[in-house]
């Protein structure tokens, strides 16, 4: 039986743990050859997990805030597996604190990784895709890219920017057989979230009608759908995967302490 992504080449940034790792594994299970790009050496563990079940994967250390690194990761993908069909721009960081408590270096870091990193990655992915028959790009925004979230002003600004980049680029490249969408995860049971206290996790879940943490695999399923022909008429959208949090009519945006996430 033909697997959904048989023969496809997929590039994933931020694939060391959590959503990135779960998505890399699911793509590989569906026949894709996967490149995992990250500054975190645990990305090599993701590659080894994929290789254990006989799929093909490779790791390249990449700082998405650097133009040369994002150029190199795309070229590495092409050189290693012969092309690039799907890119999942997932690398991101978060620092919390009210606006006046946010250090300039933390603001700069979040804008650099969460926004500029997506822009640089997209730029180099698109340079290849537009001249080679098209492709699909999925960007990781956040529920914080759709609503205001106290104690996360810089993160909110960066993630709103990802939503805007996605909409604009989708229109610019639609006639080149390239679809570009974003996901907006809410509170997901990633290693980062599981390290905080149960009380703090409940604060994250309180706005959600479903009142539970999402699983990385549930987000990964959405990324695969957006990357597949099943979503061939979908571009320029941001898909919320947040247990209903951003559609909740009740007061949204719990106040998080600087160490809550």
Catalytically active residues, by annotation: 155
List strands edge to edge, sheet with 9-13.
Answer: 57-61, 33-38, 9-13, 86-89, 135-140, 178-185, 238-241
Q: Cα angle at 115 between 192 and 188, to 5 degrees?
A: 25
The H or E element containing residue 86 is strand 86-89
In the block, residue with structure tokens 């680029």:
169
Distance CA 245, CA 206 (A): 8
Quick one: which of 32, 79, 22 has its CA closest to 55?
32
SS3 91: coil
**Distance of alpha carbon 89 from alpha carbon 227, whole angstroms:** 12
Q: How far is residue 100's CA from residue 102's CA, in Å, rounded to a whole number?
A: 6
CA distance 153 to 137: 26
Q: What is the CA radius of gyration of the chain?
A: 17
Give the separation between CA 250 and CA 198, rounded to whole angstroms.
Answer: 22
Tell which residue, 84, 93, 106, has the closest CA to residue 27: 84
């Amino acid at each position: 039986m033909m697997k959904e992504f048989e023969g496809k080449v997929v590039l994933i940034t931020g694939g060391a743990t959590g959503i990135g790792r779960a998505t890399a594994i699911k793509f590989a299970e569906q026949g894709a050859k996967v490149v995992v790009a990250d500054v975190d050496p645990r990305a090599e563990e993701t590659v080894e997990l994929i290789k254990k079940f006989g799929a093909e994967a490779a790791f390249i250390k990449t700082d998405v805030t650097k133009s040369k690194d994002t150029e190199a990761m795309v070229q590495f993908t092409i050189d290693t597996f012969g092309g690039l069909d799907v890119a999942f721009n997932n690398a991101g960081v978060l620092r919390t604190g009210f606006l006046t408590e946010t250090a300039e270096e933390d603001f700069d870091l979040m804008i650099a990784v969460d926004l500029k990193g997506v822009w640089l990655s997209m730029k180099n992915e698109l340079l290849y895709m537009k001249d080679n028959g098209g492709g699909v790009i999925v960007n990781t925004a956040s529920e914080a890219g759709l609503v205001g979230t106290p104690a996360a002003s810089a993160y909110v600004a960066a993630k709103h920017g990802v939503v805007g980049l996605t909409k604009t680029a989708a229109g610019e490249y639609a006639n080149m057989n390239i679809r570009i969408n974003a996901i907006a995860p809410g509170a997901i049971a990633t290693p980062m979230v599981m390290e905080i206290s149960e009380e703090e996790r409940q604060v994250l879940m309180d706005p959600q009608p479903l009142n539970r943490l999402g699983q990385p695999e549930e987000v990964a399923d959405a990324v695969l759908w957006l990357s597949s022909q099943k979503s061939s008429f979908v571009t320029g959208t941001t898909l919320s995967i947040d247990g209903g949090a951003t559609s909740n009519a009740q007061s949204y945006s719990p106040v998080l302490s600087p160490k809550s996430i």
